[in-house]
Structure 1
Amino acid sequence: MDVIDTWTGRMACWLQASLRLGNQAFADHLGVALRTVAGWHAQPDLVPRHDIQSALDTVYEKAPNAVHARFARFAAQAEAATAQALRVSIAVVVRASEVLLVCRRDDGALSWQFPAGVVKPGATAEVVAVRETLAETGVHCSVREPLGARQHPTTGVLATYWLCDHLMGEPENRDVEENADATWVPINSLTRFIAAERIYPPVLTALEAHA
């Protein structure tokens, strides 16, 4: 049986489905209001308050093995769907002591990031990193080595990082709808553009050799 660190509305709904209970029956089983359960279905990312977290823990821990097995399947299916639908390949392109950045338009705000592209089914992440860098900035690059992968802490997508070498081309903004700018940035000034805590640690380590 897995230990649940923090319940969300989505996970509570998995537990409900695993128990094969309707909304009212599940609310009664937990000792919460019907509107609380309805709220989880409407807002799956909602985090229940602490006393309800404890109630969910108790119901989950006391449930029979068949319920745990069904819950695990829901979790595995959700993880697989997320990984398949939301995979991003990120290019960390270096030229001497500089790194390539794009300035994205995120819901009206501007945010400096490394060039990146969505990896669609059948595509290769390494190829996507090179292709999207060219499409976004006009810069030709080649992959030197992988830097690892993680579930991005802000977006939740599965992000794969590649250290890339500059081959030719000066950056220009070729995707004016998504980006506001594209430019080389001195590596020793990178954290003025992207907060250090937002940068994947292996990326910082790899860039230190070029600063």
Structure 2
Amino acid sequence: MDVTQWTGRHACWLQNAFEDTQEEYAARLGVSVRSVASWHQSPDMVPKLETRRILNTAYERAGDAVRRRFIHYARAHVENIQAQALRVAIAVVRRGDEVLLVCRQDGEEISWQFPAGIVKPGGSAAKVAVRETLDETGVHCSVREHLGERLHPITRAICSYHLCDWLHGEAINGDQSENAAVAWAPIRELFRYIPTDRIYPPILNALEAVA
């Protein structure tokens, strides 16, 4: 792996790869312990040219095991960024004064939420919202309005929300491997299924307008 741009983050990866304490790492590089601490505090900082040259030399002289560990940390970081960038389409399907929900079951934990599906790179979030709703619940719907996007505070996925109109079809559990149940919930009682503070505000505004 060719390190073309050293940052505090890269420097910390190299420290971890050497399995050094901050004091040991500082001695290895010939820099102050304060410098090493600053890399941990500000991972996006770019060290001075002289320090970057020192890091390059340390990396070039490191053994294969150290380099493999460094590459492992770099790849894990990229995978983490990609996971955070996961895009999900969410369908808020209304039928009169009701909204469609699915009940997810993860072990003993059960949670109600709106139908959703992963959007592949270059894919249409609106189409995924409609398709996943049909696959999961047997309900045909059409997108009326895009309500917006946000980085989900818990899953860290990028969520694209779509207000949808019910066309036809009764709610059935079409994906029993993921869902425990499917239901039409009264909009005015949505809080009984999903805590209000977990719902994207534009969803509440759109449903309140209907209710």
Residues 9, 39 of structure 2: 8 Å contact kept: no
Q: What residue is the counterpart of 2:208 in the other structure?
A: 208
Q: Does 1:57 align with 2:10?
A: no
Residues 97, 186 of structure 1: 8 Å contact kept: yes
Q: If you compute each CA radius of gyration, which structure gives the higher value, 1 or 2?
A: 2
**Where does structure 1 lack aligned partners over 5 or more consecutive residues?**
1-13, 34-51, 68-73
- Quote the Cα distance in structure 2 between the aligned partners of 1:148 and 1:22: 41
Letter in 2 for 1:148: G
Partner-residue secondary structure (3-state), 2:174: coil
Letter in 1 for 2:173: N
- Quote the Cα distance in structure 2 between the aligned partners of 1:148 and 1:25: 45
- Quote the Cα distance in structure 1 between the aligned partners of 2:88 and 2:166: 20
Residues 87, 120 of structure 2: 8 Å contact kept: yes
**Cα separation, partners in 2 of 1:205 and 1:53, compared to 1, 3 Å:** farther
- Quote the Cα distance in structure 1 between the aligned partners of 2:193 and 2:176: 19
TM-score (norm 1): 0.69
**Where does structure 2 lack aligned partners over 5 or more consecutive residues?**
1-6, 26-35, 53-74
Following superposition, the deviation at residue 123 of structure 1 comes to: 2.2
Q: What residue is the counterpart of 1:9 in the other structure?
A: none
Residues 8, 45 of structure 2: 8 Å contact kept: no
Letter in 2 for 1:82: A
**Cα separation, partners in 2 of 1:63 and 1:130, compared to 1, 3 Å:** same
Q: What residue is the counterpart of 1:147 in the other structure?
A: 147
Following superposition, the deviation at residue 210 of structure 1 comes to: 1.4
Following superposition, the deviation at residue 184 of structure 1 comes to: 0.5
**Cα separation, partners in 2 of 1:27 and 1:201, compared to 1, 3 Å:** farther
Following superposition, the deviation at residue 32 of structure 1 comes to: 8.8
Match of 1:15 among 8, 11, 17: 8
Residues 146, 162 of structure 2: 8 Å contact kept: yes
Following superposition, the deviation at residue 110 of structure 1 comes to: 1.0
- Aligned 1:1-211 pairs, distance under 5 A: 15-18=8-11, 21-23=14-16, 27-28=20-21, 30-31=22-23, 56-57=40-41, 63-64=47-48, 81-82=82-83, 86-211=86-211
The count of residues paired between Structure 1 and Structure 2 equals 173
Identical amino acids, percent of aligned pairs: 49
RMSD (CA atoms): 3.4
